Structure 1
Amino acid sequence: MTAQTAQTAAEPFTPENSAMLLIDHQVGTMGWVGSIAFDEMKANALALAKAAKALDIPLVLTSSMEEYAQGPLLSELAETAPAEFAARVQRQGVVNAFDDKNFADAVTATGRTHLIIAGVTNDVCTVYPTLTALADGHPVQIVADAGGSPTKTADDIAVRRMDKAGATITSTNQLLAELAHNWTTPNGSKIINILMELLPQS
């Protein structure tokens, strides 16, 4: 690791240095997940998209084979981030999103060093882009509860693999609080409203 890479890795994740990558949050694929409740996973993924838009964090969306069983991306993503939804990278069977040149170029175009990744499923669609991003020197945070796997065992194994490779494993609440940094700032006010939407309603 070079001194420059080490310095970059040590920098905290901020709205200014981060990009948000949401991978394959498709209605069919999400229906295969058994490690987390569908509604919880969906709410967390949408919260990430809302936070990216609120904090001007570049948001890259991608899907795989929408015309097949995987189905379309969540329609709510089109409501939250219409431009990013329209520009989503539609892969045709490529497992590692970074092996798709259009996706890799879209991430490079953000100009950001730190990557926040959430994907479905964690044991396939999240693992391989994460390993590639880490190998390329990007600090990576995986928002594990904005994705999931067909079984809890598969999810645990995937999360351990990404953790061992050097990714930081986090949750939606943790990640959003980290980006807010201070609840009394304008960014903090934007984020706290998104967090409140995730709280259980009495």
Structure 2
Amino acid sequence: MSNINELTTENSTLCLIDHQPWVAFPINSISPEHLTNNVLAIAKTAKAMNVPTVLSTINGKSGPLKDPLFQGLSALWPDVEPIDRHNTNAWSDAAFVDAVKAKGRKKLVMAGLWTEVCLAQTVLSALKDGYQVYFIADASGGLSPESHERACQRMIQAGAIPMSWFAVAAEWTPDNTAPEYPAMYPIALQHGGGVQWAVEYILANLPGQQS
């Protein structure tokens, strides 16, 4: 597999690892607002574009207290039970690996908490098993900016490909004439920052929208 080949909705699987309130509480590499925004943005994009997604939690329901997925993620997949684990490396959990293999795709797009622990360990293990792994740096978070950056460097040195949520979304939606493309408009308007102005411009110039 070449890392030159772009991601498509047909060749990749999204893996969201441990986006949980208690796990996120000590994150210091990204603001809570930006983390939540970016995670929900890529999750909504995957759902809108029918990209298969694997959700996982760590001690989400098996510990003394429950620590579920972010509410926004649960709302997107209300009927999906996340794969709950006890170990930090999701790739060492048979149910997680089986779920990934069942999707039948060798390109994995991963984001998770914490960058330096659960995400990095999972990325490295998937690479060793022959998968091509992309990680979404701005939908992940570490205990400090330094710790997050060192973990990103570690994954890059091992062969993983760094991405942002918007870069992944753009590769998944290269053709703005595709029938599914309009599903991206509300996502960009809500989560895209300054991109929302471009979307407003596009919408204002669609047939039937001119005053």
- Calculate the TM-score normalised by the size of structure 2: 0.85
**Structure (1 or 2) with the larger CA radius of gyration:** 2
Cα deviation, residue 10, structure 1: 4.5
Partner deviation per Cα, 1:60-117 (whole Å, 9 max, x = no partner): 0000012357822112211111233x2x10102x111010001111111111111000
For structure 2, list consecutive stretches of 5 or more residues without a partner in the other structure. 198-211
Q: Please, what is the CA RMSD of the aligned residues?
A: 1.9
Cα deviation, residue 47, structure 1: 1.3
> Residues 43 and 89 (structure 1 numbering): CA distance in 2 closer, same or farther, change over 3 Å?
same
Quote the residue 1:23 is aligned against: 17
Runs of 4+ in 1 over 6 A off after TM superposition: none
Whole-angstrom distance in 1 between the partners of 2:64 and 2:21: 11
Whole-angstrom distance in 2 between the partners of 1:24 and 1:186: 33
Whole-angstrom distance in 2 between the partners of 1:141 and 1:193: 25
Determine which of 48, 52, 57 is the counterpart of 1:58: 52
Whole-angstrom distance in 2 between the partners of 1:99 and 1:139: 17
Cα deviation, residue 16, structure 1: 0.6
Quote the residue 1:76 is aligned against: 72
Whole-angstrom distance in 2 between the partners of 1:10 and 1:132: 21
Quote the residue 2:179 is aligned against: 186
Deviates more, 1:72-81 or 1:61-70: 61-70
Quote the residue 1:89 is aligned against: 83
Determine which of 27, 40, 55 is the counterpart of 2:34: 40
Partner deviation per Cα, 1:134-188 (whole Å, 9 max, x = no partner): 1122111110110110100000100000111111101111111111112222233
Whole-angstrom distance in 1 between the partners of 2:36 and 2:42: 10
Whole-angstrom distance in 1 between the partners of 2:43 and 2:36: 11
Percent identical across equivalent pairs?
33
Contact 1:89 1:102 in 2 (8 A): yes
Is the counterpart of residue 129 in structure 1 residue 125 in structure 2?
A: no
What amino acid sits opposite 1:156 in the alignment? E
Quote the residue 1:116 is aligned against: 109
What amino acid sits opposite 1:143 in the alignment? I
- Calculate the TM-score normalised by the size of structure 1: 0.89
